[in-house]
A and B are shown apart, each in its own frame.
Chain A
Amino acid sequence: MSFLLLIEQILNGLQSGVMLFLMSAGLTLIFGVMGLINLAHGSLYMVGAFAAAAVAAATGSFTLALIAALAAAALAGVLVEIVVIRRLYARDHLDQVLATFALILIFSEGTRWLFGSFPLYLDVPRALSGPVHLPGGIAYPAYRLAIIGIGFAVAAALFLLIAKTRVGMRIRAGESDREMIGALGVNISVLYTAVFALGAGLAGFAGALVGAIQSVQVGMGEPVLILAFVTIVIGGIGSIRGAFVGALLVGLTDTLGRVLLPVAFGTFMDPSAATSIGAALSSMSIYILMAGVLLFKPTGLYGSA
């Protein structure tokens, strides 16, 4: 295992981690402020990717595609919040799970009906399609580096929003005492819709960015959704910081595990057995990480009971 390869994998881990953060931040905000568990978040990710692919195919502009992704996902979020989600705030978690699961069915089949079952392709913008030469002789795809940069930038912006702005203050207040901010005159409905739309927009944005490196297809959102759940469980539900730390942890564990575990097993097993056992274990590594965290901190690293 060469050092260069390791650095490359660490960068890959960071890249998948920041994208996971965009998903997780939305999820954890929605849960923290509204107390709602939202299984349809993966669908919003998918909507963003499809919107980006459609717009990119029509206009050839990646920038327009990204904007379309953000807008489409946020819009879908607003629509869904007004029609379905707001009836669920007062319900128990089972109802929320079932209703948002129903939304997954509707979104997935709806998308399949509109776009067909075959994956769409979103091309990486030409300006970023080459490698970047990093110190040490590593040639790393420019696009992935850009994603890491964008991801950290969004994280910083989100932290600033929550910590320094009035909207952020309302969000934080909403997290600690829902009834109180209503009594203080903050328009809860609008706040909730806005938070949901923010989460949706982040998810759609992530979907579009990742759509260029993987394919854009129905059902692409759910595996990421489940990873996002693992992330916020590890990080602590309701905590953005927890989502950030958790996402990076999960991203790195997943990527590095996939690469390092077969190598580790290869030291005392024959290559084919090592690869299969390594691959099998690495796919479980994140869940083992989650189980480990929960054993010591049942409410996650930064969560409160």
Chain B
Amino acid sequence: MGRREFLINTVLALGLLVVPLWAHVNDQPYIITLTTKVAILALAGVGLNLALGLGGLVSLGHAMFFGIGGYAAGILASHAQSYAPLMEWPFTVEGTQSMPVIWMVALFASALAALVTGALSLRTSGVYFIMITLAFGQMFFYFTISWPAYGGEDGLSIYVRDHFPGLNTLVPIQFFAITYVLLGIALFVVARIARSGFGLALNAARQNETRVRAVGIEPYRLRLAAFVISGTITGLAGALFADLNRFVSPTMFSWQTSGEIMVFVILGGVARLFGPVAGAALFILLEEVLGGLSDYWHIYLGVLLLVVVLFARGGLIGLLAGEGKGDD
């Protein structure tokens, strides 16, 4: 990573910390909530960016994992709240409102979904892959709407935010701290993966699949692994999102959500480590500022996206950092 990019990343990381701290000191809980939203959406984007930026996999159904993580949280919490076990046979599974447990379940469920859908989807390529991932996302969307047990179209509420040992998660700054730390861990993991042998091969497969095959490495396996890790990270973001809003609904699975996550990643800079962070921040900023000015602010978002795609492909970070991504 070039020096300029490293600097920009540091600024983003610090900014994401300083803003909520300032808001905490000045008793502006809404701003803390906004920053928490940025961190969570950035996390979702970090997941997608691994598959998209490094792997070149245009997954239009990533909301599937976001929704699975969210519903894992929602379902477990709702069972805990109503003191009704999830199942009683062959063994009793109770609900829970403990975040670490919920995260484990969310991670596992998303990983499983990514493994199954990825194994099928990755047998195709190009446009077929894009469409089949979109279709899988929709499948989950429609299923969740018509499954009445967990709210259907109306969604599911979490009355009390789940708890984390040692912290009071209802305090905005403390919940933010949790999301910030998790985002940091995810960024660290993805950075290490990008610099690893696996990352080198995956990135090479994106550029030239024949080359990778010619050195005796199977691209399908690389891509499947990347897809699973990617889905897992996005799934964690979904679980956090559920706790942020204390609400989950089928919209978390929608194609609009898949599109939005991809938009943050592109706006910030696809394949840049902090791209999703910059993109999520920019998106929330636009939503707050432009959304306040006009009900139809999505038009401006559309135009901005069009401009970025046609003229500024590197996104915000590409624009600021300029030079190439650099060798290690």
A246 to chain B, nearest CB (A): 12
Q: A102-B305, A226-B255 are in contact. Are A294 and B128 (CB under 8 A)?
A: yes
Within the assembled complex, what's the spacing in Å between the Cα atoms of A294 and B120? 8
By the criterion CB–CB under 8 Å, are A105 and B309 in contact? Answer: no
Q: Does B262 contact A (CB under 8 A)?
A: yes
CB-based nearest B residue for A101: B259
> Which among A37, A283, A294 is the interface contact of B146 at CB below 8 angstroms?
A283
Within the assembled complex, what's the spacing in Å between the Cα atoms of A141 and B136? 34
By the criterion CB–CB under 8 Å, are A294 and B123 in contact? Answer: yes
In the assembled complex, which residues on chain A have CB atoms less than 8 Å from the CB atom of B297? 109
Q: Does B148 contact A (CB under 8 A)?
A: yes
Number of interface residues of A (CB under 8 A): 41
CB-based nearest B residue for A233: B131
Within the assembled complex, what's the spacing in Å between the Cα atoms of A294 and B136? 13
B36 to chain A, nearest CB (A): 25
In the assembled complex, which residues on chain A have CB atoms less than 8 Å from the CB atom of B149? 276
- Which of A112, A229, A295 has the most chain B CB within a 10 Å cutoff? A229
In the assembled complex, which residues on chain A have CB atoms less than 8 Å from the CB atom of B127? 31, 37, 93, 237
Within the assembled complex, what's the spacing in Å between the Cα atoms of A234 and B202? 29
Q: A229-B135, A230-B131, A294-B128 are in contact. Are A284 and B143 (CB under 8 A)?
A: yes
By the criterion CB–CB under 8 Å, are B299 and A110 in contact? Answer: yes
Q: A87-B310, A105-B301, A109-B298 are in contact. Are A276 and B147 (CB under 8 A)?
A: yes
Contact residues, B253-289 vs A (CB, 8 A):
255, 259, 262-263, 266, 270
Q: A95-B313, A226-B138, A294-B120 are in contact. Are A105 and B305 (CB under 8 A)?
A: yes
Contact residues, A241-294 vs B (CB, 8 A):
276, 279-280, 283-284, 287, 290-291, 294
Within the assembled complex, what's the spacing in Å between the Cα atoms of A105 and B206? 29
Q: Does A123 contact B (CB under 8 A)?
A: no
Within the assembled complex, what's the spacing in Å between the Cα atoms of A16 and B77? 40
A42 to chain B, nearest CB (A): 10
Within the assembled complex, what's the spacing in Å between the Cα atoms of A220 and B263? 22
In the assembled complex, which residues on chain A have CB atoms less than 8 Å from the CB atom of B28? none
A101 to chain B, nearest CB (A): 5
Q: A31-B127, A97-B60, A294-B128 are in contact. Are A283 and B120 (CB under 8 A)?
A: no
Number of interface residues of B (CB under 8 A): 42
Within the assembled complex, what's the spacing in Å between the Cα atoms of A245 and B52? 33
By the criterion CB–CB under 8 Å, are A93 and B130 in contact? Answer: yes
Q: Does A8 contact B (CB under 8 A)?
A: no
B253 to chain A, nearest CB (A): 12
Within the assembled complex, what's the spacing in Å between the Cα atoms of A55 and B305? 32
By the criterion CB–CB under 8 Å, are A287 and B298 in contact? Answer: no
Q: A106-B302, A222-B255, A276-B146 are in contact. Are A98 and B266 (CB under 8 A)?
A: yes
By the criterion CB–CB under 8 Å, are A298 and B302 in contact? Answer: no
By the criterion CB–CB under 8 Å, are B302 and A103 in contact? Answer: yes
B276 to chain A, nearest CB (A): 15
By the criterion CB–CB under 8 Å, are B305 and A283 in contact? Answer: no
Within the assembled complex, what's the spacing in Å between the Cα atoms of A52 and B54? 45
In the assembled complex, which residues on chain B have CB atoms less than 8 Å from the CB atom of A84? 306, 310
Within the assembled complex, what's the spacing in Å between the Cα atoms of A227 and B299? 25
Q: Does A299 contact B (CB under 8 A)?
A: yes
Tally of contacts, chain A with chain B, CB under 8 A: 118
> Which among A97, A105, A108, A284 is the interface contact of B139 at CB below 8 angstroms?
A284
By the criterion CB–CB under 8 Å, are A287 and B138 in contact? Answer: yes
> Which among A101, A113, A287 is the interface contact of B299 at CB below 8 angstroms?
A113
0/1 per residue, A107-134, Cβ < 8 Å to B?
A: 0111011000000000000000000000
0/1 per residue, B289-324, Cβ < 8 Å to A?
A: 000000011110111011001100100000000000
Q: A226-B255, A284-B143, A287-B138 are in contact. Are A102 and B126 (CB under 8 A)?
A: no
Within the assembled complex, what's the spacing in Å between the Cα atoms of A148 and B197? 57
- Which of B60, B128, B255 has the most chain A CB within a 10 Å cutoff? B128
Within the assembled complex, what's the spacing in Å between the Cα atoms of A287 and B120? 12
By the criterion CB–CB under 8 Å, are A290 and B296 in contact? Answer: no
Within the assembled complex, what's the spacing in Å between the Cα atoms of A284 and B144? 10
By the criterion CB–CB under 8 Å, are B131 and A99 in contact? Answer: no
In the assembled complex, which residues on chain A have CB atoms less than 8 Å from the CB atom of B313? 95
Q: Does B73 contact A (CB under 8 A)?
A: no
By the criterion CB–CB under 8 Å, are B131 and A105 in contact? Answer: no
Q: Does A94 contact B (CB under 8 A)?
A: yes
> Which among B262, B266, B270, B303 is the interface contact of A106 at CB below 8 angstroms?
B303
CB-based nearest A residue for B311: A87
Q: A84-B306, A106-B303, A113-B299 are in contact. Are A226 and B135 (CB under 8 A)?
A: yes
In the assembled complex, which residues on chain A have CB atoms less than 8 Å from the CB atom of B38? none
Contact residues, B139-184 vs A (CB, 8 A):
139, 142-143, 145-149
Q: A87-B310, A95-B313, A294-B123 are in contact. Are A101 and B263 (CB under 8 A)?
A: yes
Q: A101-B263, A102-B302, A287-B136 are in contact. Are A93 and B147 (CB under 8 A)?
A: no
- Which of A93, A280, A298 has the most chain B CB within a 10 Å cutoff? A280
In the assembled complex, which residues on chain A have CB atoms less than 8 Å from the CB atom of B10? none
- Which of B135, B136, B145, B266 has the most chain A CB within a 10 Å cutoff? B135
In the assembled complex, which residues on chain A have CB atoms less than 8 Å from the CB atom of B266? 98
B256 to chain A, nearest CB (A): 8
By the criterion CB–CB under 8 Å, are B142 and A284 in contact? Answer: yes
Q: Does B132 contact A (CB under 8 A)?
A: yes
Within the assembled complex, what's the spacing in Å between the Cα atoms of A276 and B131? 27
In the assembled complex, which residues on chain B have CB atoms less than 8 Å from the CB atom of A280? 143, 146-147
By the criterion CB–CB under 8 Å, are B58 and A94 in contact? Answer: yes
Instruction: Name 11 A/B residue pairs within 8 A (Cβ), A-sorted.
Output: A98-B263, A98-B309, A106-B306, A108-B298, A229-B131, A229-B134, A233-B132, A233-B135, A279-B146, A287-B135, A299-B128
- Going nearest first, the 3 A-B pairs with the smallest beta carbon separation are A105-B302, A283-B142, A106-B302
